[in-house]
Amino acid sequence: MQPTDLTGKSILLIIGGGVAAYKSLDLARRLMERGASVKGILTKGGAEFITPLSVASLTGHECYMDLFSLKDEAEMGHIRLSREADLILVCPATADLMAKMAHGLAGDLASTVLLATDKPVMVAPAMNAQMWVHPATKRNVETLKGDGILFVDPGSGMLACGEVGPGRLAEIPDILSAVDDFFAGGSAYPLKGRKVIVTAGPTHEPIDPVRYIANRSSGKQGFEIAGALARLGADVVLVAGPTIEHTPDGVTRVDVETAWQMQAAVRKALPADTVICVAAVADWRVDAEAEQKMKKTRDGLPNLTLVENPDILAGISIMTTGRPELVIGFAAETENVVEHARAKRDRKKCDWIVANDVSGATGIMGGTENQVYLITEDSEEAWPRAGKDLVAAKLADKIAERLG
């Protein structure tokens, strides 16, 4: 997308405390290059990393810090600041600042402005990985999203503290893109108000208390899709088989083990606008699970009778009442990928099929990359091999386009 002309737009940049505060100066400069007028509020923590003089020199406006400045408060400065901007951008947004926002606290200028404003607010969080995944932070993020606060989610990588994980400030181009999208009249959250159910991972079908039938699915692609949809504003329910994948931010996770449990969880989560069956559900299970561990005997191999598992995708696709607007299945194939996927779409009566080659040489099942074909009612697209996160983002965009 071409950079949006921000001429005439006013942005109030609130700079929280953290090593990433220095990046806010580059952000301000690049917003101004697009024509925006930028004013800065520097928190006490932010001033430990950059100076008010650097903010003022760069923006050409006074840098505000003190809630009780006599000059400003004589003019009700915090109210004026909160109402003059077209967008309030918090970068970096610390765990402490987001907690104040979520609970309506107003003990300093930044939190007071955020509570007093009637203008859109966008936050770009940055913090230690454990702080980002802490249940308290997750609750605060969910509260803020529910209040309509826009988020530019942090990335993962090496953090200033030396740890590796989520919590790294989003790259400046990504923040700029979110601002561009906001002012371009589009929405950074085209799926807001839409509910999506995603299944992911394998299922484990017990043979006895210690053995089961399964497959090599890691669940990574499904988890990435759930996260990508949540970042577009969707209300996402992720029904996950046994996996070690981390739950994406903003996603409601339901853990299951067997195909029958997965089917029940999906049905319970309905109705939904879209259901995406990414999970590699075991096709068969034993007809009767042994109550005790099966022992080797001299009588030879045990006789295991297999029966079919429920077909979750087909069951949703043929619903006569309350069928989701868009039903998407996945086809993991080892040969004739497109041909088998076409046949599966017809057979299951779903709207789209995302097909991939999972033969051993590809390294796709259980790996970090994917190469897929998207087969719809009227088209077939071959997507280049890419990280599963990029595949997920592209599919989420396609879904947003389809749902309008």
What does the angle CA 382 – CA 384 – CA 388 come to, to the nearest 5 degrees?
A: 110
The Cα-based distances of 117 to 64, 83, 89, 106 in angstroms read 16, 6, 12, 12
Domain boundaries defined on the chain: 10-183, 195-403
Please tell us whether the domain made up of 10-183 is placed in CATH 3.50.50.60: no
Whether 350 is catalytic is no
For the stretch 65-111, pLDDT in tens is 987 764 554 455 667 888 889 999 999 999 999 999 999 999 999 99
Q: Do the domains 195-403 and 10-183 match in fold?
A: yes
Q: List binding-site positions for CTP.
A: 283, 293, 310-313, 330, 344, 348
Mean pLDDT of 207-236: 93
Q: List binding-site positions.
A: 283, 293, 310-313, 330, 344, 348
- Residues 136 and 399: their CA atoms lie apart, in Å, by 31
Kindly report the pTM of this predicted structure. Answer: 0.60
- Residues 13 and 98: their CA atoms lie apart, in Å, by 15
Does position 1 have pLDDT exceeding 50, yes or no? Answer: no
Residue in 63, 91, 161, 277 annotated catalytic: 161
Inter-residue contact 372 to 330 (CB < 8 Å): no
Beta strands in 230-385 (DSSP E): 235-240, 251-255, 274-277, 284-286, 306-308, 326-333, 352-357, 369-370, 372-375, 380-382
Assess whether the previous peptide bond of 271 is cis (omega < 30° from 0): yes
Q: First CA to last CA across the chain, in angstroms? A: 19
Place of tokens 């965009």: 397
Q: Under CATH, which architecture does the 195-403 domain have?
A: 3-Layer(aba) Sandwich (3.40)
For the stretch 253-303, pLDDT in tens is 999 999 999 999 999 999 999 999 999 999 999 999 999 999 888 888 888
Place of tokens 């083990």: 257
Inter-residue contact 137 to 98 (CB < 8 Å): yes
- Residues 19 and 23: their CA atoms lie apart, in Å, by 9
pLDDT band for position 365 (50/70/90)?
Answer: confident
Does position 202 have pLDDT exceeding 60, yes or no? Answer: yes
Let me know how long the chain is.
404
pLDDT band for position 305 (50/70/90)?
Answer: very high
Place of tokens 């009227």: 378
